[in-house]
């Protein structure tokens, strides 16, 4: 058990490094590739441009969530860029990226196999009939099927580097000498990949867990997860979630020698938005409310809402404030004083470091016990998914014009999670950058000029090199504002 855990952490870190390098390069490619990819789809120049800008923002959003330093990745910049821009082979093979089927065709009949762009970030194939999965060769034979299809089942469609860690799957017509079934199942097979950026909390939820929920929820457990690029540490970490979504065992499908037969198959989960679900696009109209209820079931979380305990002797009558601690960058330099100040306001204060906690259930319970969660911008804030409804998230935004980043990652998703959102903007006299750079340095005087140098420059300076020391007096106002939003004050 113990060695297992160590292994998990080591692997996670290695993966983190790979992922970091991967998307640093990916971001470089982005500009050059986006135009190539979007131009044939038949949109107006302006629409394409708007989408490009939006995609740039979105792509940037993934980056801040990796907490490693950018130094090693910067060296990789000079490496040759890969030329493969679609992840699919040509030669008359139907492929989602080349046929560019329109998004929105989500309700196509299951009687005919079909692959379609289920969102800007995802391709999805759905087929029914005689479905035979051979995991070793990433092949699914389907009868009947008119043409061959190829797809990468991971929600980072335009991210060449995330996808370079994702195996391509093929759907092929059932040949005359079809492989014999060695296992028959009446469930729907669901092929997805945990390659890509998994290992970072934000990506675990945004790229895999929420999209998997969007796709799998409607099967009410009668779905089997066939996981490509399976990593046991990752799957074990979230096993309780998979068990909520499926009554069947999770299969390490790339290493599977069986011929698994099903009446239907879905290849590739569907993406909606950053850390969120668009309820209007899900057939059972499942939303983040259902997703969060599922999480509470998975991890045994007691509090659906931030209502204080009715037991007058219970410590839970005091609102609990959880400080999300960081160790490497964007550290709170006065964490102790922040905690003391919160206590003086009547909060029951806890400090949690999600990095050291590999036990998801335990950390989820700590977060669920909180009424206010405060932390510097970073992947750790993804833990907001465990907060009870009506709780308050306070995002401390580091110095450097990062409002847009704060907005896309955690501000916008909070409403659908029924969480109040407050922001604390770090000012010049609260950032460690003031000591690292001369007063008139552009880093301090003109953050926009650093933004213009590109993501790497921005990330290195404002995300990797910065620690923060919030003004206790100003932070106190924010904490008091949070207190006012809670039901605790009103119930007495």
Ligand X SMILES: *[C@@H]1O[C@H](CO)[C@@H](O)[C@H](O)[C@H]1NC(C)=O
Q: Which is nearer to ligand X, 184 or 491 (CB)?
A: 184
Contacts from 18-21 at CB under 8 Å and sequence distance 24+?
18/165, 19/66, 19/162, 19/165, 19/196, 19/197, 19/199, 19/200, 19/203, 20/66, 20/68, 20/70, 20/72, 20/73, 21/72, 21/73, 21/76
State in angstroms the smallest separation of the CB of 186 from ligand X: 10
Picking from 404, 352, 403, the residue whose alpha carbon sits closest to that of residue 382 is: 352
d(CA 449, CA 109): 51
Q: Which residues contact 104 (CB under 8 A, 6 or more apart)?
A: none
Distance (Å, whole) CA 63 – CA 388: 27
**Which residue's CB atom is positioned nearest to ligand X?**
184
Sketch the per residue contact string, 233 through 262, with ligand X: x for CB under 6 A, - otherwise.
----------------------------x-
Name which of 261 and 288 has its Cβ closer to ligand X: 261
Shortest reach from residue 180's CB to ligand X, in Å = 7
Contacts (CB under 6 A) with ligand X, residues 341-360: none
Contact segment (CB under 6 A) with ligand X among 156-164, 179-187, 207-215, 433-441 equals 179-187
Report residue 15: phi and psi, to 5°.
Answer: -60, -40
**Nearer residue to ligand X within complex by CB, 6 or 182:** 182
Minimum distance, C-beta of residue 330 to ligand X, in the bound complex (Å): 54
- Window of 83-91, 176-184, 189-197, 320-328 that interacts with ligand X by CB under 6 A: 176-184
Residue pair 294/245 in contact by the 8 Å Cβ criterion:
yes
Nearer to ligand X, 68 or 130 (CB): 130
Shortest distance, CB of residue 177 to ligand X, whole angstroms?
15
Bridging pattern class, strands 114-119 and 122-134: antiparallel
Q: Whole-number minimum distance, CB 143 to ligand X, in Å?
A: 12
Of 3-11, 180-188, 242-250, 387-395, which part binds ligand X (CB under 6 A)?
Answer: 180-188
- Minimum CB separation of residue 130 from ligand X in Å reads 9
Q: 203 or 260, CB closer to ligand X? A: 260
Cα distances (angstroms) measured from residue 365 to each of 72, 297, 368, 426: 35, 12, 5, 29
Span of 98-106, 178-186, 379-387, 409-417 interacting with ligand X by CB under 6 A: 178-186
Cβ at position 115, least distance to ligand X in Å: 26
**Residues 123, 70: Cα–Cα separation, whole Å:** 30
Of 32, 147, 184, 453, the one binding ligand X by CB under 6 A: 184
CB nearer ligand X, residue 100 or residue 181:
181
- Closer to ligand X at the Cβ: 162 or 261? 261
**Contacts to ligand X from residues 55-84, by CB under 6 A:** none
Size of residue set near ligand X by CB under 6 A: 4
Residue 142's SS3 state is strand
Residues with Cβ within 8 Å of 47's Cβ and at least 6 positions away in sequence, in order, are none
Scanning 134-142, 181-189, 374-382, 445-453 for contacts with ligand X by CB under 6 A, the matching segment is 181-189
Closest to ligand X by CB, 181 or 239: 181
- In the complex with ligand X, which residue's Cβ is closer, 127 or 483? 127
Work out which of 174, 178, 181, 304 binds ligand X, going by CB under 6 A.
181
In the complex, the smallest distance separating the C-beta of residue 129 from ligand X, rounded to whole angstroms, is 13
For 222-267, the DSSP string reads: -EEEEEET--HHHHHHTHHHHHHHBSS--EEGGG--S-EEEEEEEE
Select 99 or 182, whichever has its Cβ closest to ligand X: 182
For residue 222, the minimal CB distance to ligand X (Å) is: 17
Own/partner long-range contacts of 445-454 (Cβ < 8 Å, ≥24 apart): 447/399, 447/400, 447/401, 448/401, 450/400, 451/401
Residue 236: beta bridge partners?
Answer: none
To ligand X, the closest distance from the beta carbon of 176 in angstroms equals: 16
CA 473 to the chain's CA centroid: 34
- Main-chain phi, psi angles of 30, to 5 degrees: -50, -50
The answer to whether 103 contacts ligand X (rule: CB under 6 A) is no
Beta bridge partners of 252: 227
Applying CB under 6 A, among 6, 72, 98, 182 the residue interacting with ligand X is 182
Token output for 365: 């319970």
**Paired sense of beta strands 372-376 and 169-173, if any:** unpaired
Q: Which is nearer to ligand X, 262 or 455 (CB)?
A: 262
Nearer to ligand X, 111 or 182 (CB): 182
Q: How far is residue 473's CA from residue 471's CA, in Å, rounded to a whole number?
A: 5
Q: Tell me how far, at minimum, the Cβ of 98 lies from ligand X, in Å.
A: 35
Strand partners, 184: 261
The residue among 56 and 181 lying less far from ligand X, judged by its C-beta, is: 181
Shortest Cβ distance from residue 261 to ligand X (Å)? Answer: 6
What does R_g of the chain's alpha carbons equal in angstroms? Answer: 23
- Return d(Cα 391, Cα 369) in angstroms, integer: 10
- What residues make contact with ligand X under the rule CB under 6 A? 181-182, 184, 261
């Amino acid at each position: 058990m113990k060695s297992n855990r160590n292994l998990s952490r080591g692997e996670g870190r290695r993966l983190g490094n790979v992922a970091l390098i991967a998307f640093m390069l990916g971001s470089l490619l982005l500009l050059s590739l986006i135009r190539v990819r979007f131009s044939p789809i038949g949109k107006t120049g302006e629409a394409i441009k708007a989408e490009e800008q939006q995609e740039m923002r979105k792509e940037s959003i993934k980056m801040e969530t990796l907490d490693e330093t950018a130094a090693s990745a910067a060296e990789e910049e000079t490496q040759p860029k890969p030329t493969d821009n679609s992840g699919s082979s040509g030669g008359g093979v139907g492929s989602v990226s080349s046929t560019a089927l329109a998004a929105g065709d989500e309700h196509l009949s299951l009687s005919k196999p079909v692959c379609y762009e289920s969102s800007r970030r995802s391709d999805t194939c759905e087929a029914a009939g005689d479905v035979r999965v051979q995991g070793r060769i990433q092949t699914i034979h389907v009868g009947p099927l008119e043409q061959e299809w190829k797809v990468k089942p991971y929600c980072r469609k335009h991210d060449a580097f995330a996808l370079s860690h994702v195996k391509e799957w093929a759907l092929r017509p059932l040949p005359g000498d079809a492989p014999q079934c060695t296992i028959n199942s009446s469930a729907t097979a669901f092929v997805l990949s945990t390659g890509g950026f998994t290992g970072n909390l934000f990506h675990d939820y945004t790229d895999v867990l929420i999209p998997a929920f969007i796709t799998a929820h409607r099967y009410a457990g009668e779905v089997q997860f066939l996981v490509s690029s399976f990593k046991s540490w990752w799957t074990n970490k979230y096993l309780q979630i998979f068990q909520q979504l499926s009554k069947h065992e999770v299969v390490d499908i790339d290493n599977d020698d069986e011929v698994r037969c099903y009446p239907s198959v879905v290849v590739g989960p569907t993406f909606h938005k950053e850390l969120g679900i668009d309820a209007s696009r899900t057939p059972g109209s499942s939303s983040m409310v259902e997703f969060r209820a599922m999480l509470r079931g998975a991890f045994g979380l007691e509090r659906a809402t931030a209502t204080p305990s009715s037991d007058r002797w219970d410590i839970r009558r005091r609102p609990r404030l959880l400080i999300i601690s960081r160790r490497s960058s964007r550290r709170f330099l006065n964490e102790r004083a922040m905690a003391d100040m919160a206590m003086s306001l009547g909060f029951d204060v806890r400090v949690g470091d999600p990095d050291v906690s590999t036990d998801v259930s335990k950390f989820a319970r700590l977060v669920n016990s909180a009424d206010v969660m405060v932390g510097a911008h970073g992947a750790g804030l993804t833990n907001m998914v465990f907060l009870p409804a009506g709780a308050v998230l306070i995002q401390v935004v580091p110095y450097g014009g990062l409002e847009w980043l704060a907005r896309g990652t955690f501000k916008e998703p909070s409403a659908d999670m029924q969480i109040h959102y407050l922001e604390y903007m770090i000012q010049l006299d609260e950032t460690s950058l003031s000591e690292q750079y001369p007063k008139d340095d552009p880093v301090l005087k003109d953050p926009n000029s650093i933004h213009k140098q590109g993501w790497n420059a921005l990330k290195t300076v404002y995300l990797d090199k910065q620690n923060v020391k919030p003004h206790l007096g100003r932070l106190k106002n924010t904490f008091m504002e949070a207190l006012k939003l809670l039901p605790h004050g009103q119930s007495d």
